[in-house]
Structure 1
Amino acid sequence: MLLQRHAFNASKPGAPGRLNSAASSRRAGAAAAQPVPRDVGASGPQVIPDLPKLPSSSDHAPGDYVPQPTTSAVVTTELSAGVHSCSDTPTTRRVSRRTWLVAACLATGWAADIINGSGCGGGKVAYAAAGADAAASASAAARPVVDLSTLQEEAYLAYAERRFQDAVNLLTECIAAEPESARWREMRAEALVDGKNFTAALQDFEAALRLVPDTDRVTRARLRTGRALGYEGLSEWEAALADYKSGMELAAEAGESLDPYVLNSIGNCLNSLGRWEEAREQYLASAAVFQQARGFRGRNGSTTPRLDGAIFAASNAALMRAQLGDTDGAVQEMVRIARRAPGSADMRAALAALYWGQGRQREAEEMWEFACDRITVGCVKYTDLDWLGRIRRWPPAMVARMADFLAMR
């Protein structure tokens, strides 16, 4: 099982367990309604009907996440009930469910008085307490019943359409209905990660961990790797690295196979910490596991190959090789990857930067032109050096080479 898939996918019938969100999932799978890949992919939702209203901020404990309101409403069902007065004259009126239930309970006490001969004038003190208890019971019984299955499907839909705040609000209703369920906390955390509310996501992951027993290693492993995504969003690389490693250890103890997503994420953390040789090892391991994977089974029974993951991890490893100073070796790896994945703008942009630094201007221009004009995604993002280093996570040496290429061409 691959841990790093979003809880959104892990909860769906026929979908694999996560990470997938996480998140994962950055998720929710990958997740379309797999977790739009933490850019949580999200995989396969349906529309649902009316939902109970969200609790107000006064209903939450200090520090708890308070969602934005949605347009769902609660409809109070009214019933017609015959209620007798002491005059023995029957009357019929339209009352609310709660009033009807209280009246029914009190009527039971009234009938008992008749049997005991006390009538409406007797037993009032004795039945006052019974009436209060009945009112409390009726209040509990009148609480709206939440259809969690349809509520969940609407959350899937919101997640798939990248309406992350709507997904958060819907999942908040699920949490209100089942406050002791870690599942809803995990799913809301995935949506919060993708909505870039990392601090609130960490709170949900921690709350979910408190609800899951230590013996459930698989779930705890998934929650650890999900929480790591939140730490990554806050650039807390050491904390993220610790959670990824802890998640991997728990998964291994549970007999689970290696998760290539987690291996790649460990490489990302090491890269951000400047530990490039270790990062390269993790990227290579991730690429190897991706190539062994048959794919993920979707809700319709089909599988999706994970060669795209292998290409991405191998590209990261090649970038680390350039950072370590082995330019020729990095070029060789990038050429192989570009041949295997003709649609990879990433490797062609990287080759353009390396070729330019080697004085191979014509080849550099050819690679750049191919990336810009012949690949759908184009090369515009690769002209943004901040995006290149912070989001795409090219190492410093490669960002500098791209800067030189863009400045001189």
Structure 2
Amino acid sequence: MKRWLISLLIIFFLNVVIGLRQVAIASNIQTGDLTEQQIAQGEKIAKKAFQAAQQGDFARAETYWTTLVENFPENPAVWSNRGNVRIGQYKLAEAISDFNHSIEIAPEYPDAYLNRGIAYEGQKLWSEAIADYNHVLSITPQDPVALNNRGNAKAGQQQWQDALDDYQQAADLAPTFPLARGNASLIQYQLGDHSEAIRNMRNLVRKYPMYSDMRAALAATLWVEGKQGEAESNWVAAVGLDNRYQDLNWIENIRRWPPAMIQALSRFLNLN
């Protein structure tokens, strides 16, 4: 399964994409001392870990991955995947340590760099995050996930046009990847291209009606445009899907919308 399709189930606080790597316990390690039973048991635990993560139960997933780390310490994927679920619990320093272990074992694989970049973003270490995303792109130059996430880090530096370029390139490479198009529309609004931003938001909501981020964004921008009825309709849908959009602090510091979008949402929430 494509990495970003799996990761849509785990949209984290930065609206970034976490790359879960399917684990083959017998690969990338010395298997001479492992029995077929041990390998089969490891793969069974890995399946449970993926299921727990996809259900949002990151603590339970971490327990499974810790078992696999202890049993298969030379498998880079188990370290990287434990780092992923630690990100989901905001254990950023511990996650970075796991990604470092994965990179030491297999420096040629991109996933650990991608996910370490996410953890760096959580610490607002934008340059470090961008360096990791650039490394991923040096290995896989047309990786839409790395481009989307690099756009997030550039937005953190308020490099709005550079962020937009990354989002649009990611969207062009993966037309069915809604996060990149959604992020691009937020930056378009920040840059003053309101009509194009709203047009793109509407298209995304039409195609992906459960996309709460775009529902909330559309509510905010339409309110500013004086289209109260349509704004309120989208808002009801947005908070029904995810009530965190009622919290401006979460929007600004966790989800990290650009300032113009935060101002628009503030006007809506305050009925201004």
With the shorter chain as reference, the TM-score category is 0.7 to 0.9
Q: CA contact under 8 A between 1:372 and 1:378: conserved in structure 2?
A: no
CA distance 1:357–1:246, shift in 2 (3 Å): same
Correspondence 1:152 to 2:43: yes
Deviation (angstroms), 1:246: 1.0
TM-score norm. by structure 1 comes to 0.54
CA distance in 1, matches of 2:76, 2:211: 39
Work out whether 1:199 is the aligned partner of 2:175.
Answer: no
User: 1:186-335 counterparts in 2 under 5 A?
Assistant: 186-212=80-106, 217=108, 219=109, 221-252=110-141, 258-291=142-175, 307=176, 309-310=177-178, 312-335=179-202
Shift, 1:263, TM fit: 1.3
Residue among 49, 52, 65 paired with 1:171: 65
Change (3 A) 1:191 1:336: closer
- Give the conservation status (yes or no) of the 8 Å contact 2:248–2:266: yes
Structure with more helix by fraction: 2
User: TM-score normalized by structure 2?
Assistant: 0.78
Change (3 A) 1:36 1:155: farther
Matched residues in 1 for 2:215 and 2:68: separation? Answer: 46
Structure 1 337/382 Cα, relative in aligned 2: closer, same or farther at 3 Å?
Answer: same
CA RMSD of aligned residues (A): 3.3
What is the one-letter code of the residue matched to 2:183?
Answer: N
- CA positional deviation for 1:224: 1.2
Residues 348 and 367 in structure 1, CA contact (< 8 A), matched pair in contact too: no
Choose which of 158, 177, 182 in structure 1 pairs with 2:76. Answer: 182
Deviation at 1:158, TM superposition (A): 3.7
Give the structure with the higher percent strand.
1
**Residue 379 of structure 1: how far off its partner (Å):** 6.8
1:71 matched residue in structure 2: none
Identity percentage over the alignment? 27
1:41, CA displacement in angstroms? 8.4
Q: Give the conservation status (yes or no) of the 8 Å contact 2:19–2:115.
A: no
Q: Which amino acid aligns with 1:208?
A: S
Shift of 1:43: 10
CA contact (8 A) 1:168 1:191 kept: yes
Shift of 1:150: 1.5
Name the CA shift for 1:43/1:160 in 2 (closer, same or farther; >3 Å): farther
Q: Deviations over 1:126-173 (max 9, x none)?
A: xxxxxxxxxxxxxxx9xx998243133224314422443443344334
8 Å contact from structure 1 (residues 35, 41) kept in 2: no
Q: Secondary structure at the match of 1:284?
A: helix
- Uncovered stretches (5+) of structure 2, i.e. residues with no partner: 24-32
User: 1:345·1:371 contact (CA, 8 Å) conserved in 2?
Assistant: no
Question: Is the Cα contact below 8 Å between 1:189 and 1:201 reproduced in 2?
Answer: yes
Give the match's secondary structure for 1:356: helix
Q: How does 1:3-82 map to 2 (within 5 A)?
A: 15-16=1-2, 18=3, 30=6, 36-37=10-11
**Number of residues paired by the alignment?**
256
- Going from structure 1 to structure 2, the CA distance change for 1:148 and 1:36 (only over 3 Å counts) comes to farther
